Amino acid sequence: MISADLMAVLPELFLACAAIGLLMLGVFRGNSATQLVSTLSVVTLIVTFALIALPPRPETVAFGGLLTMDGFGDFMKLLVLIGSGVSIVMAQRYIQREDMNRFEFPVLMLFATLGMMAMISANDLISLYMGLELQSLSLYVVAAFRRDNLRSSEAGLKYFVLGALSSGMLLYGSSMIYGFTGTTNFDGIAQTFAASAGNDIPIGLIVGLVFLCAGLAFKVSAVPFHMWTPDVYEGAPTPVTAFFATAPKIAAMALFIRVLMEPFGGLIDQWQQIVFFVSAASMILGAFAAINQSNIKRLMAYSSIGHIGYALIGLASGTEQGISGIVIYLTIYVFMNLGTFACILCMRQKDRMVEGIDDLKGLSKTQPMMALALAIFMFSMAGIPPLAGFFGKLYIFLAAIEAQLYILAVLGVLTSVVGAFYYLRIIKLMYFDEPAESFDRPIGREMTAVLIITGVFTLLFFVAPGPVVDSAAAAAATLFPG
């Protein structure tokens, strides 16, 4: 029995053992081993990726119902591993230049990734919380990793305080749910609702569900629990911000989907209005709050809030098509964001990082290839066809219309038009303004590789969308058996 459980969680087990081994390597070798630990961390993530992607993994429940392994979880884990691996690759030169060359950095990112994988597979409120906290505690530290930098320390402290508040809300909601259902297991909770046939749902259970949704909304930085995002994105080291914007968002969104669709699928009438409001508010704030931003990392923070709003439209629909749309959207979102943050990491003048949007003036004349890459990502985020971002929104809006959520679909289109303003403003600065001080060269082979891969994916997604669309449909189908 135990051997079957261990085989089911083999990728997570390998990642945990490798992270502990690399931690011991760093302890014995000191900070001189940072480059080696970083490289081995990326190799670890590649092997973990292969363990999930290559062998046919049967759907199973492990450790007495605490964890579930299915196609949806596997697909989301692959996205998380891509986000984590590329973030570590992009961070290597940065931590050397910025005096952050400590071996704990990649190890903490591995432990955060392990927590995310546990979150995605959670089939119980207890395993959900354990995975969430393992991820959060690692992220609190990496946000404040530049101890000598006031902004980084402030970012870590804000994230910690507000993260503790959200964990408290999530725990309170979980305790209410346990009190009214008598179980923490997702299957048990679903059976409780099936037995009651939707009648006489206790008000305390609805309150617990609201608190649980509030805690998860914080983790995906959806309005009105978004207040930490702009400050943390701006203050954290840039590779950490790239990590925050991709992997944890994917994991938290996967957890949000699993919690609402599996144990609480029978309560869609209760939670749909919560998701509806959160989605609408996130799209509106993401579109309008970013207009006056002068710091590109803060702009990306508000942009990510808006993108989560679009993704939540698919969850509000509560349909298989909606979940499939979210998976497609998040896949495209990961590549767009990693490419954009690679461009931001290349913004260096006189060997120091710059983050002002005005620093991009005339970039097409000084570094035309980098300007082209950033233009592709900005057009894609604005949802302009035929780039990948357009198709991400298209599948989400189609799901909303199919579910008769016409208000969300119309609101999504309108906020996309407003949001296009600040993306197109960056393109205008790069191509039509006189050059500001040019950026340092060279940008490094790893950055060039990231920009090429993410840029080609974003630009040519429309040529062969089949693999992503089919995989997303198969992943969503596992949440709707029969």
Burial of 393 (0-12, 13-18, 19+ CB in 10 A): buried
**Residue 127 pLDDT > 70:** yes
Q: Please report, rounded to a whole number, the percentage of residues in the chain having pLDDT higher than 90.
A: 47
**Most distant CA pair in the chain, distance:** 68
CA distance 62 to 384: 43
Provide the pLDDT for residue 285. 92
pLDDT at 9 over 70: yes
Joined tokens for residue 155:
């970012």
For 427, the token pair is 């393109």
Nearest residue to 48 via CA among 14, 25, 16: 14
Burial 57-90 (b: 16+ CB within 10 A, else e): beeebbeebbbbbbbbbbbbbbbbbbbbbbbbbb
pLDDT in tens, 376-404: 999 999 988 889 999 999 999 999 999 88
CB count in 10 Å sphere of residue 318? 19
Residue 178 CA, distance from chain mean position: 28
pLDDT at 351: 73
pLDDT of residue 385: 87
Averaged pLDDT for residues 136-159: 87
pLDDT tens-digit map of 309-347: 999 999 998 889 999 999 999 999 999 999 999 988 888
pLDDT higher than 70, residue 199: no
The token pair at 274 is 């919560």
CB 380 within 8 A of CB 309: no
Backbone angles phi, psi at 68, to 5 degrees: -125, 140
Position with higher pLDDT, 266 vs 110: 110
Q: Can you give the pLDDT at residue 445?
A: 85
Q: Cα 277 vs. chain centroid, distance in angstroms?
A: 21
Better-scored residue on pLDDT, 193 or 11? 11
Model confidence at 197, in pLDDT bands (50, 70, 90)? low
pTM of the entire structure?
Answer: 0.94
Please tell me the distance from the alpha carbon of residue 339 to that of residue 454, in angstroms, as a whole number. 5
> SS3 for the chain, per residue?
CHHHHHHHCHHHHHHHHHHHHHHHHHHHHHHHHHHHHHHHHHHHHHHHHHHHHCCCCCCEEECCCCEEECHHHHHHHHHHHHHHHHHHHHHHHHHHHCCCCCCHHHHHHHHHHHHHHHHHHECEHHHHHHHHHHHHHHHHHHHCCCCCCHHHHHHHHHHHHHHHHHHHHHHHHHHHHHHHHCCCEHHHHHHHHHHHCCCCCCHHHHHHHHHHHHHHHHHCCCCCCCCCHHHHHHHCCHHHHHHHHHHHHHHHHHHHHHHHHCCCHHHHHHHHHHHHHHHHHHHHHHHHHCCCCCEHHHHHHHHHHHHHHHHHHHHHHCCHHHHHHHHHHHHHHHHHHHHHHHHHHCCEECCEECCEHHHHCCHHHHCHHHHHHHHHHHHHHHCCCCCHHHHHHHHHHHHHHHCCCHHHHHHHHHHHHHHHHHHHHHHHHHHHCCCCCCCCCCCCHHHHHHHHHHHHHHHHHHHCCHHHHHHHHHHHHCCCCC
Res 358: pLDDT: 86
Predicted confidence (pLDDT) at residue 482 exceeds the cutoff of 70: no
Locus of tokens 């996967």? 254
What average pLDDT score do residues 357-364 get?
A: 85
356 CB neighbour count, 10 Å cutoff:
12
| Mean pLDDT of all residues in 79-84 | 94
Residue 92: its pLDDT value, please? 86
Does residue 100 register a pLDDT over 90? no
Predicted local confidence at residue 198, as pLDDT = 56
Tokens 């011991």: give the residue: 24
Residues in the chain: 482
Residues 287-298: tens digit of each pLDDT: 998 888 888 899
Is it the case that residue 440 has pLDDT exceeding 80?
no
17 — pLDDT class (breaks 50, 70, 90): very high
